[in-house]
Structure 1
Amino acid sequence: MSERNRSRADVGIFGGSGFYTLAEQAETVEVATPWGPPSGPVSIVERSGLRVAFLPRHGPGHRLPPHRVNYRANVDAMRRLGVRALLSPFAAGSLRPEIRPGEFVVCDQLVDRTWGRESTFHDEFADGPVHVPFAEPYDPALRRIMLEAAAATGVTAHDGGTVVVVNGPRFSTRAESRWHRDAGGHVVNMTQSPEAPLAAEAGIPFAGIALVTDYDAGLDEDPDVEAVSQEAVFAVFEANLHKVRELIDASLPALAAALGPAGPGAGTVSES
């Protein structure tokens, strides 16, 4: 394989809390970007006829808190590798009793409550204004593939839901959690923005898959439900990490069929 092809990938995956590697045997590539280095080296594996690029968004050893992740570099690294679909599994707190720990939500909307993050590639409009449509932050075709993969693996995945993205690294107060729920939120997370808007600017179809680890600050309906703790999040995620891997593996054949062959003029999943 040529050096150029070795630095190419079809599908990108961002690993989240507790999800730091995709496979034991993988090629490792360093990707330079104008925005600085991404969170770490990118590992690439061959799966289902696809080259799959994996990058842990928090870096080795989870050294980067959510407000310090270089999201621009991470997304641009995937763009430079040529990925045509970007999967973003993430840990999330549930805001609703019917969405339970251990279940998934294949999100269709988000509300950005973060601040101070570099959330666009356009620091200036050198060639005129660039305002990217963002009414649908998650690619519908990619969402469908992930839902079908969930059904095939037998995991519970809710079809649609709004993720409220908070700045972190602290968790929400009870008042904030209630506010997010009353405003229409289903789950809460700290990293989906600016990942999703940057992917939109980069022209990469994007899917956010929440693995529910907790009930955020608790449930008004059940006073016995404790507020989230870091230990609980990591314990639940670790116990369910095999489901994340199974879901990704099950999605790859459909992604391969949707993406088609790589090379000049190759389509994205949305065009299938």
Structure 2
Amino acid sequence: MKKIAIIGGTGLTQLNGLQLISSEKIDTPYGLPSAELITGKLHNKHIVFLARHGNPHAIPPHSINYRANLWALKHLGVQSIIAVAAVGGITAAMAPACLALPDQIIDYTYGRKHTFFDDDTTPVTHIDFTAPYSSALRAQLIVAAAHANIQLVNTGTYGCTQGPRLETSAEIKRMERDGCDLVGMTGMPEAVLARELQLEYAALAVVANWGAGKTEGEITMTEIEHNLHAGMANALGVLEAFISSTE
């Protein structure tokens, strides 16, 4: 079977049930990853787990060393990555606590190290990014969700903002006009770096709140934490079904 990695976002700093085999601190050409890379067994399958924001959660989205994270996973022989992320919902189907499997992405970030091809030792390289997520991985996750009887919105566009602040209502309106269904802060450059390293990559998004202006009042951490608790339970159910069915 292909070696699988799970990148855990907000609300998923460790993978319960993972039988620890090793924990490695890997120094990469780009610096240190967010946390030690945990290798273990889940449903008798070897899995690598990485907490995107560190463990404990301490690294904001714009400060994550995405290049080190992806390089380290490739170094360990990972071939497929499922990236779990907390997001905001923009369109009607993306209600809080639901799971979504985006198939497109729009990048609104700036100033992030977004490529491995940026120095004098690498040739000018343009990768195809027409479909930013692996169709094969997405199909497997859709089947896994059905087997686990967990509802999954299996299409959508993820808009990636800079953070760490949440968006204004005007920004969310603009993103909806642009075609975004979800808003998050970590989808890029993670997805494109995975493509540059020829790694299969899919995002499993947990909707933690409505985007700014979609409801009355302010977005609160109490609301986010409540929805994350419910949504992450379903995300773990999908991951377990996916891993147990992987050959």
- TM-score category (smaller protein): over 0.9
Matched, 1:157 2:148: no
1:97 aligns to what?
92
CA contact (8 A) 2:3 2:78 kept: yes
Matched, 1:241 2:232: yes
Residue range with higher mean Cα deviation, 98-107 or 162-171: 98-107
Give the residue type in structure 2 aligned to 1:81: L
CA contact (8 A) 1:23 1:45 kept: no
Cα 1:129/1:174, change in 2 over 3 Å:
same
Give the residue type in structure 1 aligned to 2:175: H
Cα 1:125/1:108, change in 2 over 3 Å:
farther
Give the residue type in structure 2 aligned to 1:11: I
CA contact (8 A) 2:117 2:123 kept: no
1:131 aligns to what?
126
How far apart are 1:196 and its partner, in Å? 0.1
> Which runs of no fewer than 5 residues in structure 1 stay unpaired?
1-8, 258-272
TM-score after normalising by structure 1:
0.85
How far apart are 1:130 and its partner, in Å? 1.3
1:22 aligns to what?
15
Residue range with higher mean Cα deviation, 94-103 or 125-134: 125-134
Distance 2:235 2:94 in 1: 17
> Which runs of no fewer than 5 residues in structure 2 stay unpaired?
none
CA contact (8 A) 1:110 1:137 kept: yes
Q: Residue 244 of structure 2: which of 245, 253, 257 is its match?
A: 253
Q: Residue 4 of structure 2: which of 3, 11, 25 is its match?
A: 11
1:196 aligns to what?
191
Give the residue type in structure 2 aligned to 1:233: I
Root-mean-square deviation over aligned CA pairs: 1.6
2:200 aligns to what?
205
Matched, 1:186 2:177: no
How far apart are 1:31 and its partner, in Å? 1.8
Alignment of 1:66-81 (within 5 A): 66-81=61-76
Which structure dedicates a bigger proportion of its chain to helix?
A: 1
Give the residue type in structure 1 aligned to 2:226: A
TM-score after normalising by structure 2:
0.94
Bigger Rg, structure 1 or 2? 1
Secondary structure in 1 matching 2:238:
helix
How far apart are 1:128 and its partner, in Å? 2.7
Secondary structure in 2 matching 1:60:
coil
Cα 1:103/1:29, change in 2 over 3 Å:
same
CA contact (8 A) 1:216 1:227 kept: no
Secondary structure in 2 matching 1:211:
strand
